[in-house]
Chains A and B, each alone.
Chain A
C-alpha cells in the first residue's frame, strides 16, 4: 500500500516537470487529459512564454517536411503521424542555429475565429512533441491560419482531411 502511493506521487511529479518545460513557476491545473506527455496526447503547456517570431526578412524554406494530419475532433498528434515530427526534430538537432515555424490549419467548416484557435492548438501540439524530443522551445514558433489557407478546395471529407494539418517552415 505504501509503495503504491509513493509511485503515484512520482508519476504526477514527472508529468508536472515535463509540462513546465522552460521554467515557469505555476503548476498546470488538473483537467480531463491530465497525465499527457507533450503533444502526443494533445498536451498544452501553460504559463510558458512561447518566444518571439523570427524577424521580418528572415529566410524561410518550405516543403522540407511532410505535413502532419489531424482527425476532425482532435488537436493531438496521432501515432501514425509521429514519425514526421520525429524527422523534423532530428533535423533541428543537427545544429543550434535557426528554427522552425509550425503552421496550424483547419478544414472549412465552422467559425473562422474558433478555427483560428483550433489551428493554433494543433500547431502547439506539434510544438510540444518537438520539445519532448529535445528541441529547444525558443526555436519553435507557432502560426495558425485557421481555415483561411486550405490546400484542397473540394467540399468533401477527402479535401477536409488534407486541410486539417500542420506544416513546417524552416528558418535560418
Chain B
C-alpha cells in the first residue's frame, strides 16, 4: 500500500529530462474519440500538447489528467475536462461544438485552452507564413503551427522574399518583383486581395507593420542609399529614421510597445551587418551586437527579447536582451545554417529555417532547452517563416 502511494507521488512529480525542459506528465487515455473527424481532433490535440514542450504523455496517476469525448453527428462536438493531481477542482471543463470540417482548428483551440488552464501561454491558434518552391518559383504559403493545413497564397512565378504578418493575423506584407522592381505588397487573406504599399525609386523592402497597425517600417533607397523609414500604412510621406550614406540597412522589427525598432546595418563594416536599435522618432541608434561576423534578421518578440541570426561559422539563432545586451545561442550549433527566426506566440519557441546541403526546411527551436523539432508534414524546401502575433 505504501509502495503504491510512493509510486503515485513519484508520477505526480515533474519529470526533468536530460538536456530538455521540465515537463509535467499528462494522462489522456480517457479522452475518447469516435469517427474520422473526432479521431483527427484527438491526434492533432495530443501532437500540439507534446509540441508545446510542457507535457510528457504519462500513465494514470500523472500530474494532469485529460478526460472527455469527441463525436460527430452532423457537427463535431467535444467535451473536455482537465484535472490536476494537486487541485480539487477542474482546471478546464468545457463543451465545444464546431462544423464537421473544423477538427484541426478545434484541436488547436483546445490545446491553447489547456495551456492557459495550467498557467502557460499557447501558440496553436497562430499561423506561419513562408515561402516554398513546390511549384517551381518561390511562392507565399500559410500553414498551422504544426505545419498542417498548408495553403498556397500566391502563384506569380516571380521573385519574392521576406513575408511578414500584420499584427491582426489576417494580412501579410512581402517584397515582390511583380512590376519588375522590388516593391512591398500587402496581401489581405480575408478579402483575397493584394495591393502595393511601397513602390518608390530604388529598393523597397521591410514592410514591418507597427503593433498598433497604423504604421509601416520600410527599407527604402529612394534618397540615395538604403535607409530605415516609417510611414503611415495607408500612405503619406515616409519619414527617414537613419541617415547612413553608405550602408546596407534592412529588416526592421518593432518593439512590443511600438516605441523602437531593431534593424540590421553594415555601416561599421561592409558585409558585416550588426543589430541596432533606434527610437521610432529617429535619433542616434544604439548598437546591440558585437560578436559574430554578421548579425541579421532580427525579430522583436512580445516577451521583449530579440531573436536574430548570427554568423559564427554557420548561421545560428541567438536571443539578445536589448536592455542588457546579453545574448545566448538557442540553435544547437550543429553543421546547419539556422536563419530567419520569428518568435512563436507562446514567447518560448522560435520558428526558423534550417538549411543543410542547401536544402531548407522550417524548424521549431526552444528557448528552454528542448531539441529542435522539424515540421515533418512539410516536404520540399521552405524559407523565411513569419509567425502571427497570437
Q: A112-B161, A117-B219, A124-B224 are in contact. Are A50 and B201 (CB under 8 A)?
A: yes
A74 cross-chain contacts in B, Cβ below 8 A: 270-271
SS of A interface (majority): loop
A148-B161 in contact (CB<8A):
yes
B246 touches A43 (CB 8 A): yes
Q: Could you tell me if B251 and A113 are in contact, using CB atoms closer than 8 angstroms?
A: yes
Q: Is B249 an interface residue (CB 8 A)?
A: yes
A53: chain B residues at CB < 8 Å are 181, 201
Q: How far is the CA of A141 from the CA of B201 in the complex (A)?
A: 8
Interface hit among B27-35, B202-210, B374-382: B202-210
- Nearest chain B CB to A26's CB is how many angstroms away? 9
Q: Which residue of B lies closest to A147 (CB)?
A: B161
**CB < 8 Å A-B pair total:** 152
Chain B's interface: helix, strand, loop or mixed, by majority? loop
Q: In this assembly, does B146 line the interface, its C-beta being within 8 Å of a C-beta of chain A? A: no
**Does B223 contact A73, Cβ atoms closer than 8 Å?**
no
Closest residue of B by beta carbon distance from A122? B248
Question: Could you tell me the distance between the alpha carbons of A159 and B177 in the complex, rounded to whole angstroms?
Answer: 24
Specify which chain B residues have a CB less than 8 angstroms from the CB of A50 in the assembled complex. 201-202, 221-224
CB pair B296–A148 under 8 Å, yes or no, is: no
Q: How far is the CA of A146 from the CA of B180 in the complex (A)?
A: 13
- Chain B contacts with A in 348-385, Cβ cutoff 8 A: 358, 383-384
Closest residue of chain B to A142 (Cβ to Cβ) is B202
Assembled-state Cα–Cα distance A19/B245 (Å): 10
**Could you say which of B161, B206, B294, B311 contacts A146, with CB atoms under 8 Å apart?**
B161
Which of chain A's residues has its CB closest to B384's CB?
A112
Known A28-B245, A120-B248, A144-B182: A111·B297 in contact at CB below 8 Å? yes
Task: Given contact pairs A113-B296, A116-B161, A141-B201, enumerate 10 new A-B contacts (beta carbons under 8 Å).
Answer: A28-B245, A50-B223, A74-B270, A111-B294, A111-B296, A113-B297, A114-B266, A114-B297, A117-B226, A143-B180
Lowest 6 CB-CB distances: which A-B pairs, in order?
A73-B271, A117-B248, A44-B246, A111-B296, A46-B245, A44-B225
Residue positions of B touching A, CB distance < 8 A: 159, 161-162, 175, 177, 179-182, 201-203, 205-206, 219, 221-226, 243-251, 264, 266-273, 294, 296-297, 309, 311, 315, 339-340, 358, 383-384
Q: List 17 A-B contacts (CB under 8 A).
A: A29-B243, A45-B224, A45-B245, A46-B243, A49-B223, A50-B202, A72-B271, A73-B269, A73-B270, A111-B251, A111-B264, A113-B175, A114-B273, A114-B297, A116-B205, A117-B249, A148-B177
